Amino acid sequence: MNSFYIQLLAETEALIDEKEPCLTGLANACALLYQRLDHVNWVGFYMVCGSELTLGPFQGKPACTRIGKGKGVCGHAWETGQIVRVENVHDFPGHIACDAASRSEIVLPLFCQGRVIAVLDIDSPQEGRFSPEDEEGLEQIVRRLEQKIYGFWNQTKTREEQNAPIGVMDSGVGGISVLREMRRMMPAEDYLYYGDSLHAPYGTRTVEEVQRFSFRSASFLIEHGVKALVVACNTATSAAIARLRERFVSMPIIGIEPALKPAAVGHGGEKILVMATPMTLREDKFHLLMEHYGKETRVIPISCEGLMEYVEQGITEGKELEDYLMKKLQDDLPADSIVLGCTHYPFIKKTLRKLVGERPRILDGGEGTAREVRRRLLEEGLLRQDEREGTVMFYNSLPSQEILERSRRLLTDGD
């Protein structure tokens, strides 16, 4: 590393205060680089937020606010986890032109716990501005930023943090089906469950409404000190989880999706019915799943508006429910698999089995979500290690003791 970058590295280290928020350190770092590097017209950070890079602290002209994974130079650096140095940006396939004056570019990924969490993007109006010496020096600066700004994420979590409860949220009582799997897999953990039965069902709402309701539920649980947030609602996962991850960047947030993968993998040529809410079936997330796993199987989506309301009312069996299910399914039976794409639906599995017989496999995403929650907690150093029986506390937006009692019954049914 040459003398210029040795000095710049020292200046960067002196500038970063580990007690300040992450974005504060990144803002000062990009200001320093913008001031000290010759012939650059833009310096800034893009932060990994869900499935996109979003614009962070920067110096220069206004820039693109969102970049998809693999898109442009920044998206390519994120996808590959490699430094990308481009002599002429106009020769780079898929280049995203935010500033027409830019000619060359270098993008360096920042890592935390083995995954990319941000990229440093530097543009120049000169072609071929960035040399191997620049790459070497800037890489050392990026490594130091990882250590000083994000290093605390790699430290062992305190006992108090490990002992905090896990927050679980849903549009009503359906997410309790996921909570049951989590308790089975992580019995020592404490849980706070928030059901938004006042605004149920989410499946027939607009995306904007679901996002607004989801933020209220998440904020409630975070204010109550949860260490992780589980969005145990397929509709809320589709509509709001990317935004939640952008807003609560330091919180592990885990969602759920229809169990299409276990239904399809290794079962080529089979017929798969996916029962879900209208919104889940409309959203891009489901269409991507269907496009990916529907190549070798026949996937039939079945919109089940009204079904979650039966569970909300405590109706999980009986003639009325059976008539509803047969009306929805009769034209598409028999099937090889039935995927339950709403967390309310596992509670009607017994009635469903009675109607469809033993042939089709009936799958839901609860167990897979519980495994992912455990993996994330273990990765973050937040999984409780002591032997104990955890507790569950229920909250609901509907001011009704009856809904809380129904929640407790659904949790213990089948235990």
What share of the chain has pLDDT > 90, as a percent? 70
Q: How confident is the model at residue 19 (pLDDT cuts 50, 70, 90)?
A: low
Q: Note whether 3-154 and 156-415 share their fold.
A: no
Number of residues written out for the chain = 415
- What is 337-397 written as a DSSP string? EEEE-STTGGGGHHHHHHHH-SSSEEEESHHHHHHHHHHHHHHHT----S-----EEEEES
Residue with tokens 């993008």: 107
Span 269-296, average pLDDT: 87
Question: What is the model's pLDDT at position 182?
Answer: 97
pLDDT higher than threshold 80 for residue 98? no
Q: How confident is the model at residue 151 (pLDDT cuts 50, 70, 90)?
A: low
Q: How confident is the model at residue 317 (pLDDT cuts 50, 70, 90)?
A: very high
pLDDT higher than threshold 50 for residue 284? yes
3-state secondary structure (DSSP) of residue 251: coil
**CATH, domain range 3-154:** 3.30.450.40
Span 208-219, average pLDDT: 95
**Distances 298 to 180, 271, 290 between C-alpha atoms, Å:** 31, 5, 10
Span 105-130, average pLDDT: 91
Lowest mean pLDDT across 125-139, 272-286, 360-374: 272-286
**CATH, domain range 156-415:** 3.40.50.1860
pLDDT higher than threshold 90 for residue 246? no
Closest to 322 measured CA to CA, from 353, 355, 345, 346: 355
At 248, the amino acid letter reads F
Span 351-366, average pLDDT: 94
Distance of CA 135 to the CA centre of its chain: 32
pLDDT higher than threshold 80 for residue 363? yes
Answer yes or no: are the C-beta atoms of 217 and 209 closer than 8 Å.
no
Q: How confident is the model at residue 354 (pLDDT cuts 50, 70, 90)?
A: very high
The rounded distance, in Å, linking the Cα atoms of 65 and 212 is: 21
Question: What is the model's pLDDT at position 294?
Answer: 80
Residue 22 vs residue 273, higher pLDDT: 273
Question: What is the model's pLDDT at position 264?
Answer: 86
The rounded distance, in Å, linking the Cα atoms of 277 and 200 is: 12
* CB within 8 Å of 243: residues ≥ 6 apart: 211, 214, 215
pLDDT higher than threshold 80 for residue 58? yes
186-197 pLDDT, tens digit each: 999 999 999 999
Domain boundaries, given as residue ranges, for the chain: 3-154, 156-415
The rounded distance, in Å, linking the Cα atoms of 73 and 104 is: 11
Q: How confident is the model at residue 152 (pLDDT cuts 50, 70, 90)?
A: very low
Residue 149 vs residue 56, higher pLDDT: 56
Question: What is the model's pLDDT at position 153?
Answer: 46
Tokens of 306: 């009204």
Q: How confident is the model at residue 157 (pLDDT cuts 50, 70, 90)?
A: low
The rounded distance, in Å, linking the Cα atoms of 76 and 18 is: 29
pLDDT higher than threshold 50 for residue 415? no
What share of the chain has pLDDT > 70, as a percent? 96
Average pLDDT over all residues of the chain:
90
The rounded distance, in Å, linking the Cα atoms of 38 and 35 is: 8
Reply yes or no on whether 342 is catalytic: yes
Question: What is the model's pLDDT at position 18?
Answer: 63
Reply yes or no on whether 30 is catalytic: no
